[in-house]
Each structure stands twice: as C-alpha cells, then as structure tokens.
Amino acid sequence: MAVARTLTLPLGAAGTLKRRVAALAENRPAVYRMLDPTGRVIYVGKARRLRSRLLSYFRARYPDDKAARILQATHDLEWDYVPSEFAALLGEMRQIHRHRPVFNVRMNRARRAVFIKVAGGPAPKVYVGRNPAGADVRHYGPFLGAGRLDEAVKVLNDLLGLRDCSLRMPIVYRDQGDLFDAAARAGCIRYEIGTCSGPCGGLVTEIEYRKRVGEALDFIEGRALAPLDRVIAAMTGAGEAQDFERASWWRDRFDTLTWLLEACSRMQAALDSLTFVYVDPGSYGDDRAYVIRRAQVRAAAPAPRTPIETEAFCALVREHADVATEPGPIPPQAIDETLLVLGWFRRRPGALQRTVPLDGWLARHGGRDAP
C-alpha cells in the first residue's frame, strides 16, 4: 500500500522544508508532487531514492537550474512510496496526465518518437506528427525520425490522391455540388498535377475519397498492398515502353513504399512482442506483477504468493489473454505509456527475463493448456 505524506509550509520557507525532507523522506522509490500556495500541483517527479532526490533541489542554483525554479514556486510537498523504479515511472506519467502540472508541460523535452496520424472529419488526412492529438485522430507508431517517414507518407498521399492541406480547409465533395454556385476548383496545384483528388473543390465524391483513405489504412496496417501494386504496374509499364527515366522514378517510389510497409510491420511486431506478464522486483520485497498487452499496462497487482492470490491474478490475465490481437492504432491517451514500456524493455533487456507470455502464465498457474 502506497504511503503518502504532505508537508504544509509558509511560502518560501525553504530551510524548514529542507529540514523536514531530511527528517521524513526515505531513500525509497517514490513519486513526488510540488504544490503552490493554492494547493495546485505544479510539478510531478519520480525518484529511485527519494530523500537524495529531494535534497538535490536545495543544492540547485536559482535561476539557472530547473530544480531551483521549481523549488522557488513550491509551497507544499507530498509523495507516494512505490515498489520500484518501473512503478515510479508509471506513477509519474499517470499523475502528470491527471494534474497537467505547469512545470512538467513547460519543461518536457521534445518528443523523439513520431507517428503516422489519420485525422477524421469530413475528409480524413494522413500525415506525420509528434504530439498526441484528439480522440478523432488515429496514431500509428511509434517511429524514430520524421525525415524518411514524412517522405514515405507524402508518396502514399500522392499515389492515392489524399489531401495534405490544413484541417481547417473547407471540404466540398462532388455530390454536394448542387449546394454551391461557384465552379469546382481545387485549393492548390496538387489536383492539377494529379497528386490530389480535390476534396476541397467538389472534384471527388465522398465515397470515392473515403475509399482512398481506406486503402491507405489497409496499407499501413498491413492488410492490403494496393498502393504498391499500382507502383509496380506503372514501373513495369514504363520499362516495357523503354521509358527508363520514368521507370527509375517509379522505382524510387517503390523503394519508399516498401520501406514504409516494412517500418509499419516492424512497429506492429514490436508492440505485439510486448504482451506478457511482467514480474517487477520491489526494493523491499514488494514485487508487483503487471499484465502488459501491446506495450500497455492493462492490470497490476502484488506478485501472487498464495493460491488465492494466484487465482485472482490469473483472472486478470485471462481477461486480457482472450482478446484477439489485430494491427491498429494506439489510443492517444495510451501513447505516453506505450513509449514508456517500449523504452523500459529496450534499455533493460534483463527485464525481459522476468516476463512470461499470457498463455504461458495461465498454463503454469491457471490450469490452461499451452497453445
């Protein structure tokens, strides 16, 4: 059970705060929160050794150091002890999502991972971005490095005639033309050069445009290769016509789309491989067991030690083991957790030795036959 402590101090009483931290904080993993005079959480942090981490704030120089600037604005301090560093990482991330502390938002480092995003709305848009968007946007990834991914998505958009304009661009489909007096006209030159179907100018029907978007999603999710088939047909046709310059142009697009298909396949395989029970050792023997599915923590409990605890935990495992796995987007609210879990096991290969596939766990502990 996590233990929480709250220190209420006069604003700016750093000396008193330091003495109380030195007296009360233990060198255990923890998640801590800094509060302003109104009780609002202004910063959430994590620590493997809480006492040492908090005391380091008082050695920081103001205003150059981030820690000193946070401490300057801090009125109260509270923390929760957790079993391990992994639990601290999860707790920090979830509390940041809950409280949206001003110092975490302002000082977070730029996100390295990028995603293929598919925005909804009247005319869906496929593009590359870093930060999670709203519930109406699908996120595929994560990928490292935006350069080649951006180029590949542009080739996919050009081939399928998908728009790359602002999401605020008004959309007028061909089947809505009787509502408007103006002649059909695309908002940019891409329609004229054949790389956009023109949903902004009444030049394509909604059914046709959404069919094109569906082909893009099928390609990203590895269900169909229609865009690649078109490139192969065009490349072959140019070769047979001895238009070798054009054939080379199509070959470049073939290489780009092949890279994109392989990158999406590797991404899905990486997520699928992170589906298991992970037993995380606690600093004080308080081990925890996590049910992880596609790099998301679906359930957690103290590592079972008795038959009753084992039976209860097997019920959690069974709930998630019986879910069919299909390629698809990551929910926006799960992106940070997915990145955390991916990073944890990538940087700590030894942690994978403490994992057991879901069916393997049930076969061992819950009476289910192994597949």
Q: Residues 133-146: pLDDT tens digits?
A: 778 899 999 998 88
pLDDT bracket for residue 106 (50, 70, 90): low
CB–CB of 57/304 below 8 Å? no
Tens-place pLDDT, residues 212-251: 999 999 999 999 999 999 999 999 999 999 999 999 999 9
Q: What is the pLDDT, as a whole number, of residue 305? A: 94
pLDDT at 152 over 50: yes
Q: What is the pLDDT, as a whole number, of residue 133? A: 79
Tens-place pLDDT, residues 296-353: 999 999 999 999 999 999 999 999 887 777 778 999 889 999 999 999 999 999 999 9
pLDDT at 99 over 90: yes
Two structure tokens written together for 7: 């220190």
Q: How far apart are the first and last CA of the chain?
A: 36
Q: What is the pLDDT, as a whole number, of residue 199? A: 93
- Please name which of 53, 70, 54, 52 lies closest in space to residue 62, comparing C-alpha atoms: 70
Q: What is the pLDDT, as a whole number, of residue 370? A: 43
Say how far apart CA 349 and CA 52 lie, in whole Å: 27
Report all structural domains of the chain as residue ranges with CATH numbers, in order of start. 4-107 (3.40.1440.10), 113-271 (no CATH), 274-365 (no CATH)
Two structure tokens written together for 130: 């870093």
Q: What is the pLDDT, as a whole number, of residue 62? A: 87
Say how far apart CA 328 and CA 225 lie, in whole Å: 16
Q: What is the pLDDT, as a whole number, of residue 93? A: 94
What is the arithmetic mean of pLDDT over 52-81? 91
Say how far apart CA 294 and CA 282 lie, in whole Å: 23
Burial label for 334, CB within 10 Å (0-12, 13-18, 19+), is: middle
What is the arithmetic mean of pLDDT over 121-126? 94
pLDDT at 275 over 50: yes
